[in-house]
Amino acid sequence: MVPNTEKISSLVHQLLIELGEDPGREGLLKTPTRVAAALEYLTSGARADPQKVINNAIFTQETNSMVIVKNIEVYSLCEHHLLPFFGRCHIGYIPSGKVFGLSKLARLVDVYARRLQLQERLTEQISRVVMESIGAQGVGVMIEARHLCMMMRGVEKQNSVMVTSSVVGTFRESVATREEFLTLVGSRSN
């Protein structure tokens, strides 16, 4: 379902009034329209098909070496407060005859991040789609993120970082594989 941005804009206009603001003042005149457009974009992943995003950019490659893409920027909205969380996603997988076109992993992160989300669910969704899309031997996904719902309100802890991981297949079954992934993800790139 495509969001009704006109209705969202009207609701944001009413919200501004309820917050004690004057939606007719210069700085807020176009705010309802801007917020509606931003929310449509920031939740667009809920209306996207991950397989269309992959767009057959899966290639035959006989290798069983670990493939890792580190530091994929991730921006999402916490479903509890509609406030952003942001950080880095690291994805590793061991192919089983098929590999992704490199940009597709970042695009998959965006598909799942551009929704009202929980970091824990986001991590699981990414690992599942990577595993299922190429029949990987195993997948590891780690996300390190800062949550504005924790930094700007509530406990107001500015330096807190939430880390989630999802390991499936050989990454779960083999301690050595899991440790290799975690070591490579933790290593610094120059």
| Residues 76 and 122 reside in one and the same domain | yes
pTM: 0.93
CATH code, domain with 12: 1.10.286.10
> What total of structural domains would you count in the chain?
2
| Residues 34 and 87 reside in one and the same domain | no
| Residues 20 and 53 reside in one and the same domain | no
| Residues 25 and 76 reside in one and the same domain | no
Secondary structure of 55-123 as H, E, C letters: CCCEEECCCCCCEEEEEEEEEEEECCCCCEEEEEEEEEEECCCEEECHHHHHHHHHHHHCCEECHHHHH
Supply the DSSP symbol for 136.
-
| Residues 137 and 57 reside in one and the same domain | yes
The pLDDT assigned to 1 comes to 83
Residue range 113-166, pLDDT digits in tens: 999 999 999 999 999 999 999 999 999 999 999 999 999 988 888 899 999 999
The pLDDT assigned to 189 comes to 54
The pLDDT assigned to 43 comes to 97
| Residues 27 and 56 reside in one and the same domain | no
Cα–Cα distance measured from residue 62 to residue 96, given in angstroms and rounded to the nearest whole number: 7
Cα–Cα distance measured from residue 48 to residue 186, given in angstroms and rounded to the nearest whole number: 31
- Evaluate whether 32 touches 9 at the Cβ level (below 8 Å): yes
| Residues 110 and 172 reside in one and the same domain | yes
| Residues 82 and 135 reside in one and the same domain | yes
Place of tokens 């950080």: 87
Supply the DSSP symbol for 2.
-
| Residues noted as catalytic | 78-81, 119, 147, 149
The pLDDT assigned to 190 comes to 41
- Evaluate whether 144 touches 87 at the Cβ level (below 8 Å): yes
| Residues 73 and 155 reside in one and the same domain | yes
| Residues 28 and 65 reside in one and the same domain | no
How far is CA 46 from each of CA 122, 152, 171, rounded to the nearest angstrom? Answer: 12, 26, 28
| Residues 73 and 32 reside in one and the same domain | no
The pLDDT assigned to 49 comes to 96
Tell me which residues of the chain have a pLDDT lower than 50: 190
> Could you list the residue range(s) of the whole structural domain that residue 22 is in?
5-42
Which pair of structure tokens corresponds to residue 78?
A: 């916490």
The pLDDT assigned to 14 comes to 98
